[in-house]
Structure 1
């Protein structure tokens, strides 16, 4: 159960300065009414699913022009910058502003391969289904039905064992381009950027398991990375009609090969200055005020702004940490309590 605004004392059996404390650490059971979550941590789906609702995303006109250049050129946008500068959020902002639907997300790690992003074929699952069918129907299962021979591909529905990955789904023909977020490409294998070159240039790929099927099985319906969504693949080839909006993020942990960089438009997101930070706080928190009072998102938070800027000069901080601090302050949380501000505005790099 949730309620808008800070926790009220009468709702939780507390009052005064302790009203915001939901958990007390004393082992006592209480009936608690949770306050409404921060705007950027509210989810639009049903229980167990959903993504955060779109929130305002602010960048400067120069950075926005770089984004537009990538859109017009149909080239991937390589976004670099410090943690917390909004690299991943940019993909969601583009999809929201241009009404391009759900963002396809491809998180990259050291074990990621291009195959993972294009499609997966569950050969083991299909083999298991073949054996189960043979056990149920006997040795003739899959070889005939009445007077007509039935190919194994037809009887087993091979499309049920093929699922397109986020990149594969982004290349499915559509009226509008899809937005694909390739998150933290620099964490992947050193050869992964080069592996992407051909797909980015050609805008297509082959599903070899479907390409080998006979002509009377040229059209196969396969699952996509979108929930409960299927698409038809013809002769095993997926070729886009509009090149997707590809946003690639990097924390600068590794340099990319020149051949890959040549095919991208590069955007380096700077850390927002104080003026931009204040605009971000207003955009995220003012719309959430019950009275809609303009500028109330910054009321009484000048000390938090100063603390954030001072700490960021010494180490690494993310903009959403400032938003967290402001949200807590506005909810009645005493950030001067021992160690609490340090826990919220903790450094992201170096010694903890």
Structure 2
């Protein structure tokens, strides 16, 4: 399949992925900006960096696209402890130590396995070369019998085997400052070197789209940003919130949904005045679901609505500025 054909798989602007309840994938409404960014990323073979506040649909974008076009979906959520080896290949030192202790305790025990046997493929290995990742470390007999490791993700297929992979690197801004720069070579070359010197590279027969998300909690290196196609998911307008809600809850009371969507601008401003993160699309959908289930009127006179407003949209807690300052201080 040509590169042009791969980006033509992306749904049209304002198309909706209907969702997959069996796999617990929610519906997703593709904006015109998201569609363009996805097509550019596929056409240029560059990673797509998706920026926006928590709850705006960054993670759902990658998963919905994979499900819609029938590609394999792989995901790794970044933490402050994530290192490059976790994404490429880790050496299982603990298993190697156990084998060494067993060999020393039992006279005549077999020697340690080759170093390669202790490699544990990360998501980049699976995304670049699924065949070698699935059979790595297995004996020749096991390979001959068709044994393979389980895919660390969710595979979506249509009638034919999946042609490509959507790889999601979620919340890159949670990583230590060095990690984005460490990713430059794997992202540029679509490959990496194993500890034994061998090179794992992306198979030319399979397409790959890497989606990287950030909440903007930490500034990313310029060298990293230059290598990405960037997409900023802005706060949806009330009309778009109504459209999103209709896709998620088709039978919802339209007047109620419109009233709630109209109030989101007020809630966002109030949250910022209080030093808290403004409610995102996910909180809006939670509020719609709660109001539908409890038959709540969107009115200050309704005590249940005031509780929903406080519990879902203006959540009490520590101001965002204080939390962010504590996080930066700890880092």
User: Which residue of 300, 303, 307 maps to 2:259?
Assistant: 303
TM-score (norm: length of structure 2): 0.70
Please report how far the alpha carbon of residue 80 of structure 1 lies from its aligned counterpart in structure 2 after TM superposition: 0.8
Counterpart for residue 311 of structure 2: 343
Does the aligned pair in 2 maintain the 1:173–1:239 contact within 8 Å?
Answer: no
Query: Partners in 2 of 1:253 and 1:325 — Cα distance?
Result: 26
Does the aligned pair in 2 maintain the 1:203–1:243 contact within 8 Å?
Answer: no
Counterpart for residue 4 of structure 1: none
Change in 2 beyond 3 A, CA 1:82/1:171? same
Query: Partners in 1 of 2:236 and 2:46 — Cα distance?
Result: 26
More helix by share: 2
Query: Partners in 1 of 2:184 and 2:42 — Cα distance?
Result: 18
Deviates more, 1:273-282 or 1:313-322: 313-322
Equivalent runs, 1:205-224 vs 2, <5 Å: 205-209=192-196, 211=197
Equivalent runs, 1:60-71 vs 2, <5 Å: 60-71=31-42
Does the aligned pair in 2 maintain the 1:325–1:345 contact within 8 Å?
Answer: yes
Does the aligned pair in 2 maintain the 1:179–1:244 contact within 8 Å?
Answer: yes
Secondary structure of 2:314's aligned partner: coil
Query: Partners in 1 of 2:241 and 2:53 — Cα distance?
Result: 15
Counterpart for residue 279 of structure 1: 243
Does the aligned pair in 2 maintain the 1:281–1:298 contact within 8 Å?
Answer: no
Secondary structure of 1:79's aligned partner: strand
Please report how far the alpha carbon of residue 133 of structure 1 lies from its aligned counterpart in structure 2 after TM superposition: 4.3
Counterpart for residue 314 of structure 1: 270
Does the aligned pair in 1 maintain the 2:57–2:282 contact within 8 Å?
Answer: no
Q: Deviations over 1:81-116 (max 9, x none)?
A: 122211111110221121112x22221222221111
> Which consecutive unaligned segments of at least 5 residues does structure 1 have?
1-38, 45-51, 144-151, 212-235, 290-295
Counterpart for residue 142 of structure 1: 110
Does the aligned pair in 1 maintain the 2:163–2:207 contact within 8 Å?
Answer: no
Query: Partners in 2 of 1:239 and 1:328 — Cα distance?
Result: 48
Q: Deviations over 1:213-253 (max 9, x none)?
A: xxxxxxxxxxxxxxxxxxxxxxx432111462111111222
Change in 2 beyond 3 A, CA 1:261/1:133? same
| Higher Rg | 1
Secondary structure of 2:55's aligned partner: coil
Equivalent runs, 1:1-352 vs 2, <5 Å: 44=22, 53-101=24-72, 103-136=73-106, 138-139=107-108, 141-142=109-110, 152-153=112-113, 159=117, 161-173=118-130, 176-209=163-196, 211=197, 236-241=198-203, 242=206, 244-286=208-250, 289=251, 296-315=252-271, 316-332=278-294, 334=296, 336-337=303-304, 339-347=307-315, 349=320
Counterpart for residue 20 of structure 1: none
Query: Partners in 1 of 2:33 and 2:25 — Cα distance?
Result: 22
Does the aligned pair in 1 maintain the 2:55–2:280 contact within 8 Å?
Answer: yes
Root mean square deviation of aligned Cα: 2.8
Please report how far the alpha carbon of residue 308 of structure 1 lies from its aligned counterpart in structure 2 after TM superposition: 2.6
Please report how far the alpha carbon of residue 297 of structure 1 lies from its aligned counterpart in structure 2 after TM superposition: 4.9
Does the aligned pair in 2 maintain the 1:108–1:188 contact within 8 Å?
Answer: yes
Q: Deviations over 1:131-155 (max 9, x none)?
A: 324534x23x326xxxxxxxx436x
Does the aligned pair in 1 maintain the 2:48–2:210 contact within 8 Å?
Answer: yes
Does the aligned pair in 1 maintain the 2:166–2:209 contact within 8 Å?
Answer: yes
Between the two proteins, the alignment pairs up a number of residues equal to 259
Change in 2 beyond 3 A, CA 1:349/1:58? farther
Secondary structure of 2:218's aligned partner: coil
